[in-house]
Copies of this chain bind each other. A is one copy, B any other.
Amino acid sequence: MWSIFHDVVAAGDTYVFGADTPRADALAYWFGPGVTPFVAELDSRIVGMYKFMANRRDRGAHIANASFMVARWCAGRGVGRRMGLHCLREAKRAGFRAMQFNFVVSTNLAAVKLWQSLGFAIVGTVPQAFQHATLGYVDVYVMHRALDDVENGLPEQSSGSGT
């Protein structure tokens, strides 16, 4: 998990963490209080991980926040999509009414398209909120999806796009 985390943040194109983020910060991010983490395995090897938690406390605790990372060498194989579907069901099961991403980098087209295909809408655009390693300041999206229609299965579950 640490090597995936480190590779992802070292690229500086999708996550807010700097390339020099200490291992302790990564551990706190994935295993902090209130966090529910999962990993995705392929041939007994960890190829991705996600976590969800309440996006806010108390009067905002009915909306989940989630984060996803896929090993760079395993990109494009549908790991993100499978984790996304799993996450939606687990968050629903945990009682959340909706899921919100606070910080989707607008130039991360693979992520934006994936989340849109799973029913998320862009509900906000923060100008130049991310300092991209090669593109400079780029916009960040807030994305949102209600969980009303998420039950044991999702319509998108069997489409298999990207797998």
Contact = CB atoms under 8 A, between A and B. Distances in A.
Interface of A: 12, 15-18, 21, 55-60, 62-63, 97-98, 100, 102-103, 123-132, 137, 140, 142, 144, 146
Contact of A97 (B59, B124, B128): B128
A127 B131 contact: no
B103 A102 contact: no
Contacts of A15: 59
Contacts of A57: 16-18
Contact of A130 (B17, B59, B146): B59
A131 B98 CA distance: 13
B56 A103 contact: yes
A59 B16 contact: yes
Contacts of A21: 58
30 contacts: A15-B59, A16-B56, A16-B58, A16-B59, A17-B58, A17-B59, A18-B57, A18-B59, A55-B129, A56-B103, A56-B129, A60-B103, A60-B129, A60-B130, A60-B140, A62-B131, A97-B137, A98-B127, A98-B128, A100-B129, A102-B102, A123-B126, A123-B127, A124-B125, A124-B126, A124-B142, A126-B142, A126-B144, A127-B144, A127-B146
